[in-house]
Amino acid sequence: MTPTPFCCTAGVREGAELSLETTPEVTPTQTTGRVPAQRVAEKDRGGHLRWIPIAVALAYALVLPVRFVDDAWISYRYAANVADGVGPVFNQGQRVEAISNPLWTALLAVAYKLHLSLPLTAWVIGVACVLAVVWMTTALVRRITGSELIGVVCGTALALTTHFMRSSLNGLETCLYSALLLAALSCLLSEHRRARLGFGLAVVGVALTRFEGHLLAAILLAGLFALRRDGTRATLRRNIVTAAGVAASLLAVELARIAYYSELVPMTVIAKRDVGRSVKLQVGSMIRPFATYMVQTFGRGGLVLLASTAAVGIAVIAVGRRRLPVVYLALCGVVVAFGVAVTFENKGDWMPAARLLAPYFPVLLVLVASMLWAAFAFRRRQATIALVVWALAWLALVPGTWSFNRDRAPKGYRFAAAFRHGAFANNADDVGRVLRRVYEPGDLFATAAIGHMGYYGRPAPMFDMLGLAEPAIARSPGKSTNGGKYDFAYTAGKRPSVIIDVTPATVVATAALAPDRYCGLLSPALTGQLLFVAVRCDLNDRIGAPLTARFGGRSVGIKQAERIWLKGHRFGDRFRG
C-alpha cells in the first residue's frame, strides 16, 4: 500500500519521535523499525534543497535597505525606560500603554540593558525570525505533501515576497509574531514528546506579541482540541492541561498589566477606534480604507489570483480528498481569515508593506501548496509545476514584489549608518537630540511622529497629537484613522512649546487655536522629509534658533510659513524612518 504523505495526528501514540523534520514517508514503522533503502536515498538526494529558501531569504534580507517605521521607536523608548528603571511608560510618571507588543518590548529592554544597539538588535531578531519562518513554512508543506520540492518552491516564494520581508525587518514585532504563529502550527503536526509544551509556549508568545494575538491564541487552542483527539480521556486531559496552562499564564500577565495601567485595552488601540459612534457608522467607515489597503497590498491581479485559488480550494474540499488534512487546513484558513478581519477592523494600516497581513502570508502559502497538491490528485510532478506557475504569478502580480526596484537606497547609503540612525538621512533623530538639549521643565513638545523624536529626545516629555500616549485624545469622540485621532483644541490648550507633524495643515490648525503666537521654521532639510515645525515665538531664541542652526533655514510668522509650506508640499512616502 502506498503510504499517505500526510499523517493525521489523531490517534497517534503520544511521545512518538515524529516531527516536521521527519516526513511520514521516511518514518520507520513500528513493526520493523526500518526505512526502505530507496526512500532513504530519495531523502538524501532532496535534503540539500531545503537550504535554498533559507539562502534566498538571507540574501534578500541583506540587500534590502534598512527602513524602520516611526512606531518602532515608540517600543524602543519603552524598552529604554524599562531598562533604566523608569518603568514601562512613554513619559516618566505617566502610566499610559502606548504599545501593544509587550513581549517584543521586553526583548529589546534586555538588549538595552546589555548595552546593545536597539535598531541593530531588532534587525538581527528580524532576520533570525524570517529564516525560521521560511524554514518552518518549507517543512510544513513538505510534511503535508511529502514532497521536498514542493516545500522548497513554497519557501522560496515566501522569501521573495517583498511585503513579507520588508514588514519583518521594519523594526517592529511582525517577524516575531509570524515566527511564533508558525511554531504553534508546526507543533500541532508534531508528535514529539515536547510538542505540547512548545505549542503552549508559542501560543502564549503569540498573545503577548500583538494585542489581537489573544483572539488568535483562542483559535489555536480550539485547533488543538480539534486535531488532538482520539476519544481517550488521556488525550483530552492533556489538551485541557495545555489550554489551562496557556490561560493561566495569560491571565497572570493581563492582571499585572491592568493593575499597572488601570486599562483593559492599550491606549494605542483605543486611539484608533471611533468613540461615541454607532456600530453601523463604525463598520461603514472601515469598508473603503480596507478595500484600498487590500488593493494596495495585493493589486487587482493579485486579488483575482487569490480568489481563483480559493475557488479551487473550495472545489477540492467539496469533491472530498481522503488524504487531505481537512481539519488542519481548515484551521489555517481560519487563521488567514482572522488576519483579514483584523485588517478590516483596523481600517488598513498607514505603514508600508502590508504589516498587518504579512504574518499570515506563510500560512496562506501553506494553504495554496496543499490545495494545488490535492487538486492534481496528489501527483507531485504536476503539483510542483502548478505551484511554480502560481508562485511566478504571485510574484508578478503583487505590487510589493517589485517595489524594491523603485525603492533603491540613495547615494551614500551605508549599511552600518542605517542602524545608527534608524534609517538613512533621517533628520527626526537629530530633531529629538536638539529638543533633549534645549529642554527645560515646563516644556511640552507636541508631535504626531513620537517615535524617532521620542527615543532620541529622552527623557524630555513628548505630547502625542494622535492620542496613542494621550488618554484624553484617545477617548475623545469622533472619527479616527488607522494612525489615531487628532484633537486640535485639546492640544492647543496645552500650549505646546513646539508643534511638529508630517503635514502642514495639522501644525497650522493647532497653532491657530493656541493662545500663543507661533513661528514656522522654513528649512528644506526638515520639510524635505515631511517634518513641519512651529515654535512658540516667545521661545524662538531658546528652541527655534538651535533648530535652524542645526538644519538651516529661518523662522517666519506661522501664516507666511503656511503659504510657503502648502505651495511646495507634496505629501508622499518620503517619511520612511
State how far the Cα of 333 lies from the Cα of 472, in Å rounded to an integer: 39
Task: Find out whether 358 and 176 touch, Cβ atoms under 8 Å.
Answer: no
Task: Find out whether 345 and 299 touch, Cβ atoms under 8 Å.
Answer: no
State how far the Cα of 53 lies from the Cα of 154, in Å rounded to an integer: 8
Task: Find out whether 500 and 453 touch, Cβ atoms under 8 Å.
Answer: yes
State how far the Cα of 350 lies from the Cα of 347, in Å rounded to an integer: 9
- Looking at the DSSP assignment, which residues form a beta bridge with residue 535? 498, 519
State how far the Cα of 46 lies from the Cα of 449, in Å rounded to an integer: 50
How would you write the pLDDT of the chain (577 residues) with one tens digit per residue? 433 444 444 433 333 333 333 334 333 333 333 334 444 444 445 567 889 999 999 999 998 888 888 899 999 999 999 999 999 999 999 999 999 999 999 999 999 999 999 999 999 999 999 999 999 999 999 998 888 899 999 999 999 998 999 999 999 999 999 999 999 999 998 888 889 999 999 999 999 999 999 999 999 999 999 998 887 888 999 999 999 999 999 999 999 999 999 998 999 988 888 877 777 777 888 888 899 889 888 888 889 999 999 898 888 777 766 667 888 989 999 999 999 999 998 888 888 788 899 999 999 999 999 888 888 877 778 888 989 999 999 988 887 665 443 444 444 444 455 454 444 347 888 999 999 999 999 999 999 889 989 999 999 999 999 999 999 999 988 778 778 889 999 999 999 999 999 889 999 999 999 999 999 999 998 988 889 999 999 999 999 999 999 999 999 999 999 988 887 654 433 323 3
State how far the Cα of 418 lies from the Cα of 431, in Å rounded to an integer: 17
Asked if the bond preceding 459 is cis, omega within 30° of 0, the reply is yes
Cell numbers linked to 427: 533628520
For 139, how many CA atoms within 13 A lie in the half-sphere containing its CB? Answer: 20
> Where do the structural domains in the chain lie, given as residue ranges?
47-404, 426-568
13 φ, ψ to 5°?
A: -60, 130
- Looking at the DSSP assignment, which residues form a beta bridge with residue 445? 462, 498
